[in-house]
Amino acid sequence: MRRQLMKGNEAIVKSAILSGCRGFYGYPITPASEITEAAAQYLPQVGGVFLQAESEVAAINMLYGAAAAGVRVMTASSGPGISLMQEGISYMAGAELPCVIADITRGGPGLGNIAAEQGDYHQVVKGGGHGNYRTLVLAPHSVQEMADLTALAFDLADRYRNPVVVLADGFIGQMMEPVEFPQTATEPRLPKWAVAGTEESRGNLISSIYLEPDKLEAHVRQLEAKYYIAQQREARAEEWRTEGAEVVLVGYGIVARILKAVAAEALAEGLKVGVLRPVTLYPFPTLQFQKLAERVRVFVVVEMSNGQMLEDVRLALNGARPVEFLSRVGGNVPSHGEVLELVRKLARQTLPARQPEEECVGHV
Amino acid sequence: MTDAGKRDRGLLRVDQDECKGCGLCIEACPPHVIQMMERLNHYGYRTAVYAGAGCTGCGICFMVCPEPGAITVLRLTNRPAGRFDSEAEGAKRCAGN
Amino acid sequence: MSNATEAEYEVAHGRPKAFYENFERKDELQHQTHYCPGCGHGIVHKMLAQAIDELGIQNRTILISPVGCSVFAYYYFDVGNVQGAHGRAPAVATAVKRSQPQSIVIGYQGDGDLAAIGSAEILHAANRGENITVIFVNNAIYSMTGGQVAPTTLLGQRSTTTPNGRSAANEGYPLHVSELLATLEAPVYIERVGLGDNRQVAQAQHAVRRAVENQVRGLGFSLVEVLSPCPTIWKMSPVEAQHWVREVMEKTFPLGAFRDRTKDAPAKAAPPAAPALEDISRILGVADEGAVEEIDAEAKGAVDLQVRVAGFGGQGVLLLGEVLAEAGLHAGLQVSWLPSYGPEMRSGTSNCHVRLAREPIDSPLVVHPDVLVAMNEPSLHKFCASVPPGGWILYNGETVPAECERKDLHILARPFTHVADELGDGRAGNMVILGALLEATPILPQASVDAALGQLVKNPRWLALDERALARGRELLRESLQGVCHDG
């Protein structure tokens, strides 16, 4: 297949269209604007709809409408815009509408800045909007994965009738790497439940309202059952040189790339270091963590946040192994050097197999 | 009753289950041939009722009525009785007074 | 009345077919609506259902239910139904219509929904001239939540949140939505009607039908504002409330058409047909056909080139890196290109990280570049210490400042921009420097560089200039190496 040099933000749009996406409603925001721009260029050419909405609030509600009408649809934004979209995401989860949302994160809270950060983890992975729902979350760490996980996101969104978020940082969105696309485009198909303005679909209703407590409870339980199945089937993580590793570095997105470089150097120094990279942040790859915990001495979570994924790692390990944490925020990236230094320190420590959790926050 | 000219041009039916007794039809009726029932219906509403004569079939009571099918207005046809399905349908869809 | 007599009558005004026979989505009392006695919603519902019947569009119609008392409009209308978030019906309707252009999309909203929380959505849907129909029921109060002030509440009107009556000083003036929207260019039809008496009701019915018919004809955005009674919250009898619409409300909200281009508006063009599925990858530029053949990368030595290019915006920093990465891709290597990204992005500085390697690239961030390209002195200062011993610094300047002097690596300092000036345009300085870089790190075949340049530089004049610039850069580096030899 043809390898092409392409920005992650462009790869998302091309992959989406090849996956049958025919609607994009968005609002520009750095560092996600290239996605909106590419959508504006390509969607009208393939018989799709592109519309720059008046706000992120309107954009997500347009996704609600397009998804209700049976179209594979997506949007893209960054932290502040995702905050505004939470209303619609909750409605879509409640009404069981599929859609794909690309969150190309930036620094927060508030306006923060436009540099890459991973502070959207909580609002994206834990829900963000009101009510008992989850979004499925995929975290690409390369341009190829921007394409591949976007395609997967559309399939998961349809399979689970639920919003799926592609959570990437500004680096993954802005950088260019070779990428390959499937040559056959997916044919857009109209789901049976859609409200399409036809005789067959006239009886259909898209709504998140369940007035009676018993009915709402049944609905919430049914959503839970769906998420349970997703947990069983869809959790993914990449293990990188974890064979024989005593120290396992944990990170997603651009951080995972840095961790691989650090691990490569540490391995060359004879240190027993590997990388575990969650690919799905919800469902979280809990099993992979638990399996590794059987033979690994210590986990090191590295995040461009104040410890948001850290909570999930701790929940997954449930005290089985110590968890160290290195954090950079504000748009700063954990440097190769500072991670390597921590790894060297930990690898040289001769810790007993099961000692109580001890935390080291490496603010630099 | 063979002479159509002696009959009312219109005929009104009010569904006693659907009517909520708001009285808008009584207010709206140009020939004032709708009244409020004295007794309450099954749901506790005093409902509207056709006085039995004088309906012109104008339909304004139907339009001001907030309930979808509480009021049905019929019009006299010049055709022989029993020829049209719509009559049967109308009778079926609307409980008579 | 005898059966024989009844048989001589036929139904002239009866339950519209666009209503369900039985309201099965309701939990109880499925034979009647949930509206209070005398509520205007029921009347407007009936007008809408009548219009759907008359226009023969029941199968095509999609109703967008709002939040407010009419939240359950989907209980009643036997059409496609979508219930949306508070105020967002115009956004939802926009996308439903654009997704299914053959459908007839009707947004139904109250005054809190449309005029307060959804004011942005209605304004922009109207301004885009979406080919949808909006029924706006204005009863001057928030009814479902128990009677709080609405944007359309009259001055002096009491509500639970204006216990002493609405005051202009605190809540502002009643919002005239129809007049406001009629200042926009795009809407085709905007009329305010009332439910205050028989004549008003007849006009309202006419307006609702026309607003739907406009969409069927493809004319564009139509909105009917209906002044509608809320006897319960107004604490009036249904008949008193009807009178209040006519005698009080209408004084603040005069009836009439504020926009009517129904006669001359052209029908909107149908969206263009979608291309065949097999054409999609070509349209996206990702089809295998037309791809530049990569050079067979087998049986070559290890490669791991890490480059940092830094300068000001406009110096071609990003393009330099891109040509290098593209050439690496053509040569069958793994590549990454990462632009400077972050706080410095908007401050005029520009830099990028480029990696070319035989093996998969771990981190695209270049911490210790084998080659630093510094297009100006600040960039040199910032990054000169990061180059490991044995590496290269290519500096766009006559001499390297003393604090950046290093004996443990190669430095080529030349005014590359001036060199490019001599070639015809100083903007090709980035390509002169790239030529030097390619000569200093001989891992890429010239064919790959040519292919990359051909792909990224489409203007023939620039392509020719860039080719000359690359060649000149290679010369400069060779000359400098000879100089080193001579000096040594």
Of A122, A118, A345, which is closest to residue A247 (Cα–Cα)? A345
CB-based contact C32 B64, cutoff 8 Å: no
Q: Return the residue of C nearest to B4 by Cα.
A: C8
Option in A53, A177, A202 nearest C79 (CB):
A202
The pLDDT assigned to C349 comes to 82
Residue A363 lies in a domain: no
CB-based contact B70 C32, cutoff 8 Å: yes
Domains in chain B, CATH or no CATH each: 12-89 (3.30.70.20)
Does residue C268 carry a pLDDT above 60?
yes
The pLDDT assigned to C300 comes to 66
Option in B1, B4, B93 nearest C15 (CB):
B93
Residue A362 lies in a domain: no
| Same-domain check for residues A13 and A77 | yes
| Same-domain check for residues A34 and A83 | yes
pLDDT, tens digit (0-9, with 9 covering 90-100), for C116-158: 999 999 999 999 999 999 999 999 999 999 999 999 999 999 9
Instruction: Confirm or reject contact between C78 and chain A (CB < 8 A).
Output: yes
Q: Specify the 3-state DSSP secondary structure of A10.
A: helix
CB A18 within 8 A of CB A74: no
For tokens 């399939």, the residue is: A155
Restricting to C residues 334-353, those with a Cβ less than 8 Å away from any Cβ of A are 334-339, 341-343, 345-346
CATH code at position A199:
3.40.50.970
Picking from A216, A234, A252, the residue at the C-terminal end of a domain is A234
Q: Which residues of A touch C81 (CB under 8 A)?
A: 195, 204-207
Picking from A213, A234, A255, the residue at the C-terminal end of a domain is A234
- The Cα-based distances of A85 to A76, A78, A107, C89, C278 in angstroms read 10, 10, 17, 15, 34
Q: Which domain holds residue A52?
A: 4-234
Residue A354 lies in a domain: no
C281 pLDDT band, cuts 50/70/90, is very high
For residue B21, the distance in angstroms to the closest alpha carbon of chain C comes to 7
Q: Which residues of A touch C322 (CB under 8 A)?
A: 5, 176
* AA letter at C154: L
pLDDT, tens digit (0-9, with 9 covering 90-100), for C310-345: 998 888 999 999 999 999 999 999 999 999 854 444
The pLDDT assigned to B81 comes to 47
The pLDDT assigned to C488 comes to 29
CB-based contact C198 B73, cutoff 8 Å: no
For residue C481, the distance in angstroms to the closest alpha carbon of chain A comes to 32
| Same-domain check for residues A83 and A214 | yes
Select from B67, B72, B83 the residue whose CB has the most chain C CBs within 10 Å, as the one to mutate to test that interface.
B67
| Distance of alpha carbon C340 from alpha carbon A62, whole angstroms | 34
- The Cα-based distances of A155 to A38, A95, A360, C29, C157 in angstroms read 21, 18, 40, 41, 53
pLDDT, tens digit (0-9, with 9 covering 90-100), for C428-450: 999 999 999 999 999 999 999 99
Q: Which residues of C touch A53 (CB under 8 A)?
A: 91, 124
Instruction: Confirm or reject contact between C37 and chain B (CB < 8 A).
Output: yes
Restricting to A residues 50-109, those with a Cβ less than 8 Å away from any Cβ of C are 51, 53-55, 57-59, 61-66, 68-71, 73, 87-88, 91, 95
pLDDT, tens digit (0-9, with 9 covering 90-100), for A57-99: 999 999 999 999 999 999 999 999 999 999 999 999 999 999 9
Domains in chain C, CATH or no CATH each: 10-260 (3.40.50.970), 304-487 (3.40.920.10)
pLDDT by 10s per residue, chain B, length 97: 444 457 899 999 999 999 999 999 999 999 999 999 998 988 888 999 999 999 999 999 999 999 999 999 999 997 554 444 444 443 444 333 3
Categorise residue C140: left if φ over 0, alpha if ψ from -120 to 50, beta otherwise. Answer: left
CB A329 within 8 A of CB A361: no
| Same-domain check for residues A217 and A243 | no
Option in A44, A63, A261 nearest C362 (CB):
A261
**What percent of chain C is predicted at pLDDT more than 70?**
95
Residues 6 or more apart whose CB falls under 8 angstroms from that of A157 comprise: A72, A98, A99, A100, A136, A163, A164
Instruction: Confirm or reject contact between B82 and chain C (CB < 8 A).
Output: yes
Categorise residue C147: left if φ over 0, alpha if ψ from -120 to 50, beta otherwise. Answer: left
Of C202, C20, C47, which is closest to residue C137 (Cα–Cα)? C47
Residue A359 lies in a domain: no
Residues 6 or more apart whose CB falls under 8 angstroms from that of A253 comprise: A118, A139, A140, A141, A167, A168, A169, A171, A172, A304
- The Cα-based distances of A295 to A266, A302, A360, C364 in angstroms read 19, 20, 21, 30
- Vertex B37 angle, CA B36 and B40, to 5°: 125
CB-based contact B87 C31, cutoff 8 Å: no
Instruction: Confirm or reject contact between C298 and chain A (CB < 8 A).
Output: no
| Same-domain check for residues A204 and A332 | no
Option in A54, A64, A208 nearest C124 (CB):
A54
Option in C286, C337, C346 nearest A176 (CB):
C337
Instruction: Confirm or reject contact between C8 and chain B (CB < 8 A).
Output: yes
Of B48, B41, B5, which is closest to residue B24 (Cα–Cα)? B48
Question: Residue A109: is the preceding peptide bond cis (ω within 30°)?
Answer: yes
Picking from A234, A253, A270, the residue at the C-terminal end of a domain is A234
For residue C41, the distance in angstroms to the closest alpha carbon of chain A comes to 20
For residue B31, the distance in angstroms to the closest alpha carbon of chain C comes to 13
| Same-domain check for residues A125 and A156 | yes
**What percent of chain C is predicted at pLDDT more than 90?**
90
Instruction: Confirm or reject contact between A1 and chain C (CB < 8 A).
Output: yes
Instruction: Confirm or reject contact between B57 and chain C (CB < 8 A).
Output: yes
CB-based contact C33 B87, cutoff 8 Å: no
| Same-domain check for residues A225 and A334 | no
For tokens 């009558």, the residue is: C9
| Same-domain check for residues A63 and A152 | yes
Q: How many domains does chain A have?
A: 2
Q: Return the residue of B nearest to C23 by Cα.
A: B68
Residue A353 lies in a domain: no
Instruction: Confirm or reject contact between C225 and chain A (CB < 8 A).
Output: no
C104-110 β-sheet, strand order: A205-206, C80-83, C61-65, C104-110, C133-138, C222-227, C189-194, C256-260
- The Cα-based distances of A359 to A298, C187, C266 in angstroms read 11, 62, 69
> Which tokens belong to C460?
């023939």
Residue A355 lies in a domain: no
Q: Which residues of C touch B27 (CB under 8 A)?
A: 239, 242
The pLDDT assigned to C487 comes to 37
Does residue C354 carry a pLDDT above 90?
yes
List helix spans (H) across C138-279.
Answer: 168-171, 177-181, 198-216, 231-234, 238-244, 250-252
CATH code at position A337:
3.40.50.920
Instruction: Confirm or reject contact between C333 and chain A (CB < 8 A).
Output: no
Residue A246 lies in a domain: yes
The pLDDT assigned to B11 comes to 96
Of C340, C357, C326, which is closest to residue C449 (Cα–Cα)? C326
| Same-domain check for residues A215 and A116 | yes
| Same-domain check for residues A326 and A241 | yes
Low-confidence stretches of chain A (pLDDT < 50) are 353-364
Residue A356 lies in a domain: no
| Same-domain check for residues A208 and A319 | no
| Same-domain check for residues A208 and A299 | no
Restricting to A residues 25-54, those with a Cβ less than 8 Å away from any Cβ of C are 25, 31, 42, 44-49, 51, 53-54
pLDDT, mean of residues C454-464: 95
Q: Specify the 3-state DSSP secondary structure of B91.
A: helix
Does residue C2 carry a pLDDT above 90?
no
The pLDDT assigned to C485 comes to 41
The pLDDT assigned to C341 comes to 59
Q: Specify the 3-state DSSP secondary structure of A55.
A: coil
CB-based contact C92 A116, cutoff 8 Å: no
This model of the complex carries an ipTM of 0.94
